[in-house]
Amino acid sequence: MTELMAQERFEQAESHALPIGAGERKVLTFTIGRESFALVIDGIKEIIEYSGVTRVPMTPAHLRGVINLRGSVVPVVDLAIWLGRPGSSVGRRTCIVVVEVEHGDEITDIGLVVDAVTEVLDIDAADITPAPSFGTTIASEFIAGMGRVKGRFVVILHPQRVLDIQALGRF
């Protein structure tokens, strides 16, 4: 690999990395199918029971619909479909994780359908590695890092990239 290619890969990895710093990061872990994922807890507004989702005609399959959250209309995304997996089937543990996402100068709430919320964990910065550039079925720009938790890896999603409002509206 040439020095220029190595530099480009380093810059790409840096641009997708979690803003971690020293110490620990609190993450919310959840499952989609049999896979474990996480989001840094800073952008999570709340977790609610899956109910009251109103389907909006002629929207892409990954957009489940909208919910009324204290008078605000919040779009709900089936994260499984958005990540290229079969759609989530609603069960008793299905939740909507409401995340605040920056879009330009505005902050927008987006609900994410997940099969189950697992737990809130502290992951030491030393236990978070950059996303692999190969071998994953999720676009690497969606992955902020891979966290080692209890001998296994958890995919830490980058909320600003995985929940890009313009991309979510396409299909």
The pLDDT tens digits for 103-121 are 778 888 999 999 999 999 9
- Domain boundaries along the sequence of the chain: 3-168
- Selected residue with higher pLDDT from 170 and 55: 55
Residue 69 has pLDDT above 50, yes or no: yes
pLDDT value, residue 106: 84
pLDDT value, residue 38: 94
Pick the closest to residue 39 from 118, 94, 106 (CA basis).
Answer: 118
Q: Which residues contact 98 (CB under 8 A, 6 or more apart)?
A: 44, 45, 46, 47, 48, 69, 74, 109, 110, 111, 112
pLDDT value, residue 141: 73
Least confident window among 85-89, 100-104, 129-133, 152-156: 129-133
- Selected residue with higher pLDDT from 136 and 154: 154
Average pLDDT over residues 154-168: 75
pTM of the model: 0.78
Specify whether the CB–CB gap between 122 and 25 falls below 8 A: yes
pLDDT value, residue 74: 94
- Ramachandran category for residue 135: left, alpha or beta (phi over 0 → left; psi -120 to 50 → alpha): left
- The second-level CATH assignment, the architecture, of 3-168 is Beta Barrel (2.40)
Least confident window among 15-19, 76-80, 89-93: 15-19
Cα angle: 125, vertex 131, 135; to 5 degrees? 145
CA torsion, points 7, 11, 14, 15, in degrees to nearest 10? -170
What tens digit of pLDDT does each residue of 1-50 get? 333 333 343 343 344 344 444 567 899 999 998 889 999 998 899 999 99
Instruction: Determine phi and psi for 48, rounding to 5 degrees.
Output: -130, 160
Average pLDDT score over the chain? 80
